Amino acid sequence: MDTIYALATAPGRAGVAVVRVSGPQAADVCSQLCGNVPPARLASLRRLTDGGELIDEALVLRFEAGASFTGEPSVEFHTHGSPAVVARLLAALSRIDGLRGAEAGEFTRRALENNRMNLAQVEGLADLIDSETEAQRRQAMRGFTGALAERTERWRASLLRAVALVEATIDFADEDVPEDVMPEVRTILANISDEFRREIAGVGAAEQVRRGFEVAIVGPPNAGKSTLLNRLAGREAAITSEVAGTTRDIIEVRMDVGGLPVTFLDTAGLRETEDTVESIGIERARARAEAADLRIFLAAEDLGVSVQQEDLRVAAKCDLGHPGTGLPVSGKTGEGVSALLEYVGSTLGQRVSEDQVATRLRHREALQAASEALEDAEKLLYSPDDTAELAAESIRRAIRSMEALVGRIGVEEMLGEIFSSFCIGK
């Protein structure tokens, strides 16, 4: 493989910047820039020079093959985080024969190809890098630390036993089998099928943790929606006015609520109007509110938006003594806002499972295929005909679908899309 290099930390001024080099020439590069090669896995202070000119004093870490992130010989230069220092070091690396700049996600791809990570861990790492809230971090860590791979291996081991038991009835069909193995096989398939169904059902919520939840603030004009949004945001995110119809487009504010990524939507006041532009905003508001994960209604009357069981009604402008049904809230004084946020966080948090390991649409598709294969196997095992061989093949089909979860088979075509989401230095 080529030896590649890239800035592994965010660009811009910082206390420290890390430049990573990975590949067969890593030690030679270290020797050229430092004068000698420091001991492996021992942080060493070295002067980095290029053509006799001092670039910087840096902390240098060298890793041997099999001990680095990529699994290849690697070197990391921890320099001062000056953009000028980083640019000078990258320029020096670019002039060394055999080196080239890394592509997006290429370090992580090499870790996958060298069996340092599996595909589910790669996806978990991508999610960890992008995580903004505690719930996103916890979910990403389950993937990055191999929870999906561990569970997949357990499923695989159980199904391999089921296949072996079924094939024993085929191989020894003309002989006396010590015991009827089919009850054990059916139990294995039923238990794993139940686990598959739970994982499949939880993927939607896991995807929402990654993308974020939406909560729509719904009400008639001048109900206090924009004032409430501004209070939630802690800034003037929306224009407030006594003139009805001020808000026409949807205003979004993204927040961390109880560790969950939540976007609050300030929608146009819902009413009948002859104003063409306002009516467009109202229709958009209704559609977005219907699609939201939760709705906060600032009115008791019917506004043409479906009310779900978990939706919250609030008595807005409670500081003015306005009567209303629901939680008393004032966007002006902040009364009731903490209770509102607590309700939103707990309600959405109940939809998230801490035991969920399948978190992506790709995972759901693989598990769905495996689940369908097990359903076929169970039907064949209960068939009065001699269909044991077909049942065994259906179980093998389920195993192949699971192996795609962690990248053992059939995933080459999706690798480019996955790694394109990584930064250059990862």
**Tens of pLDDT, residues 364-380:** 999 999 999 999 999 99
pLDDT of residue 411: 47
Sequence ranges of the domains in the chain: 3-116, 134-208+360-407, 212-351
Mean pLDDT of 46-70: 94
User: Is 76 labelled as part of a ligand binding site?
Assistant: yes
Which amino acid would we find at residue 137? R
* Percent of the chain residues topping a pLDDT of 70: 86
pLDDT category at 111 given cuts 50, 70, 90 is: very high
User: Is 243 labelled as part of a ligand binding site?
Assistant: yes
pLDDT of residue 263: 92
pLDDT of residue 241: 42
Which amino acid would we find at residue 240? T
- In order, the DSSP letters of 271-311 are -----HHHHHHHHHHHHHHHHSSEEEES-SS--SSPPPTT-
pLDDT category at 182 given cuts 50, 70, 90 is: confident
**Tens of pLDDT, residues 33-53:** 998 888 999 999 999 999 889
User: Is 272 labelled as part of a ligand binding site?
Assistant: no
User: Is 226 labelled as part of a ligand binding site?
Assistant: yes
User: Is 224 labelled as part of a ligand binding site?
Assistant: yes
pLDDT of residue 49: 94
pLDDT of residue 243: 41
pLDDT of residue 322: 65
Q: Which of 179-193, 248-262, 263-277, 367-381 has the highest mean pLDDT?
A: 367-381
pLDDT category at 414 given cuts 50, 70, 90 is: very low
User: Is 247 labelled as part of a ligand binding site?
Assistant: yes
Q: Quick check: helix, strand or coil at residue 199? A: helix
Helices H / strands E in the chain, number of each: 13, 12
User: Is 332 labelled as part of a ligand binding site?
Assistant: no
User: Is 116 labelled as part of a ligand binding site?
Assistant: yes
Residue 81 has pLDDT above 60, yes or no: yes
* Percent of the chain residues topping a pLDDT of 90: 49
Considering the domain 134-208+360-407 in this protein, what is its CATH number?
1.20.120.430
- Read off the pTM: 0.76
pLDDT of residue 195: 95
Mean pLDDT of 329-337: 86
Interacting residues of 289 by C-beta distance below 8 A, sequence separation 6+: 216, 218, 265, 267, 295, 305
- In order, the DSSP letters of 52-94 are TEEEEEEEEEEE-TTSSSSSS-EEEEEEEE-HHHHHHHHHHHH
pLDDT of residue 422: 61
Residue 139 has pLDDT above 60, yes or no: yes
User: Is 266 labelled as part of a ligand binding site?
Assistant: yes
Answer CATH for 212-351 from 3.90.1150.10, 3.40.50.10540, 3.40.50.300, 3.40.605.10: 3.40.50.300
pLDDT of residue 140: 93
Two tokens, residue 116: 């340092």
pLDDT category at 247 given cuts 50, 70, 90 is: very low
**Tens of pLDDT, residues 197-218:** 999 999 988 988 988 999 998 8
How far apart CA 142 and CA 128 sit, in angstroms, is: 10
Over the chain, what is the mean pLDDT? 85
Closest CA to 244 of 274, 221, 273: 221
User: Is 20 labelled as part of a ligand binding site?
Assistant: yes
User: Is 109 labelled as part of a ligand binding site?
Assistant: no
pLDDT category at 274 given cuts 50, 70, 90 is: low
**Tens of pLDDT, residues 217-234:** 888 877 788 888 888 887
Q: Decide yes or no: CATH 3.50.50.60 for domain 3-116.
A: no
pLDDT category at 73 given cuts 50, 70, 90 is: very high
User: Is 268 labelled as part of a ligand binding site?
Assistant: yes
Q: Between these two residues, 195 and 247, which has the higher pLDDT value? A: 195
User: Is 9 labelled as part of a ligand binding site?
Assistant: no
Mean pLDDT of 9-16: 92
User: Is 95 labelled as part of a ligand binding site?
Assistant: no
pLDDT of residue 282: 74
